[in-house]
Amino acid sequence: MKIVVLDGHTVNPGDLSWDSLKSLGDCTIYERTSPEQVLERAKEAEVILTNKVVITAEHIAALPQLKYIGVLATGYNIIDLGAAKEYSIIVTNIPAYSTPSVGQMVFAHILNITQQVQHYSDEVHNGRWTNSADFCFWDTPLIELLGKKIGLIRLGQTGYNTARIALGFGMKVWAYTTKSRLQLPPEIKKMELDQIFRECDIVSLHCPLTEETKELVNAKRLAMMKPNAILINTGRGQLINEQDLADALNNKKIYAAGVDVLSTEPPKADNPLLTARNCFITPHIAWATTASRERLMGIMIANLKAFIAGKPENNVVK
């Protein structure tokens, strides 16, 4: 079986092993693949594995040996599923592998914003504490989380995990969710979307990107938020209208934002969030802890073995 990994560097830049995958067939691993290189590199492949390289209908039609596409991520919008179905190609994804790590990143951003650890560490190393007239100093608000309201937009696995962490800090957890009140534990309160934006101290996005959720966060909803509110996004960059968020931050309509995703990745140099006030940005790494990537690769192997056995798992082609 001919296996081609199109962008292996993303999930395994060298700290993990491909040996389990290599044991399943003739395996070629490319660090990165441009759109123009896809057909040449995959021309004999029965199995393609991809993290971010797009597989179009044209690719699928031109690859007669192809039987299986494994997406090395949870989201699978990079694959033309209609074409895959037409050509009877199995497409699998990797669900829930990064749930603990994403919740951790949500609170890494929240704690960075509320405690400003990096800011104060930099100030101390620059000599400010050494030269201080007092035993301590601070020049930003220091915000306690106990009793604060956090609003979670959708309550899938990452939302639930984030809720559990928030409860550990003594926060009040509200959620906008399709689940009924009877399906929720008593410590999580179901709320309408706009109520969450109006009343919560922190709003955290955990919804997929769809036509309905694109630019869910826009000038209208940002205007509803408290001036001391914090917005967190570890979902998808296009959930937010970035110019509207930059304007809200720069005009002090909300206090701060912590985002791990942007609408274009890597971002363009003129992305307004890069220069916005109190906007803290990490480079889409919530999923990328070593433990998370080890789980991803384990599920990748399990998915492929199930396909070989004729019993596909995590097949997203309906």
Q: Nearest-CA neighbor of 218 among 198, 190, 242?
A: 242
**CA atoms 134, 169, 105, 219: torsion sign:** negative
Digit-coded pLDDT (tens) for 204-222: 999 988 999 999 999 999 9
Strand-pairing partners, residue 203, are 151, 231
148 HSE (CA, 13 A, CB side): 20
Kindly name the residue from 9, 58, 265, 277 that is annotated as catalytic: 265
Percent of the chain with pLDDT over 90: 98
pLDDT of residue 318: 84
Is 284 an active-site residue?
yes
Q: How high is the pLDDT of residue 225?
A: 98
Report how far residue 283's alpha carbon sits from residue 262's, in angstroms, rounded to the nearest whole number.
8
* Pair of tokens at residue 304: 């492929």
Per annotation, catalytic residue among 109, 284, 293, 295:
284
Going by their DSSP bridges, the two strands 149-153 and 202-205 should be labelled as parallel
Determine which one of 236, 242, 293, 295 is catalytic: 236
Please tell me whether residue 224 adopts helix, strand or coil conformation: helix
pLDDT digits (tens, 9 = 90+) for 24-79: 999 999 999 999 999 999 999 999 999 999 999 999 999 999 999 999 999 898 99
pLDDT of 219-245, one tens digit each?
999 999 999 999 999 999 999 999 999
Q: In the chain, helix, strand, coil percent, each to 5? A: 35, 15, 45
Q: Which fold has domain 99-281?
A: Rossmann fold (3.40.50)
**Contact predicate 22/37, CB 8 Å:** no
Grade residue 289 by pLDDT with cuts at 50, 70 and 90: very high
So where are the chain's domains?
2-97+290-308, 99-281
What is the pLDDT at residue 272?
98
Fold of 2-97+290-308: Rossmann fold (3.40.50)
Q: Where are the alpha helices (DSSP H) in the chain?
A: 8-11, 19-22, 38-42, 57-61, 81-86, 99-115, 117-125, 157-168, 193-199, 219-224, 242-250, 290-308
The DSSP secondary structure of 160-207, one letter per residue, reads HHHHHHHHHTT-EEEEE-SS-GGGS-TTEEE--HHHHHHH-SEEEE-P
Long-range contacts formed by 281-285: CB under 8 A, 24+ apart: 282/105, 282/108, 282/109, 282/258, 284/260, 285/105, 285/260
The number of residues in the chain equals 318
Spatial separation of the C-alpha atoms in residues 277 and 283, rounded to whole Å: 18
State the pLDDT at residue 98. 95
**Helices 157-168 and 99-115: crossing angle, nearest 10°?**
40
Range name among 64-68, 205-209, 256-260, 270-274 with the lowest pLDDT average: 205-209
Q: Kindly tell me if the per-residue pLDDT of 168 is higher than 90.
A: yes
> Does residue 206 carry a catalytic annotation?
no
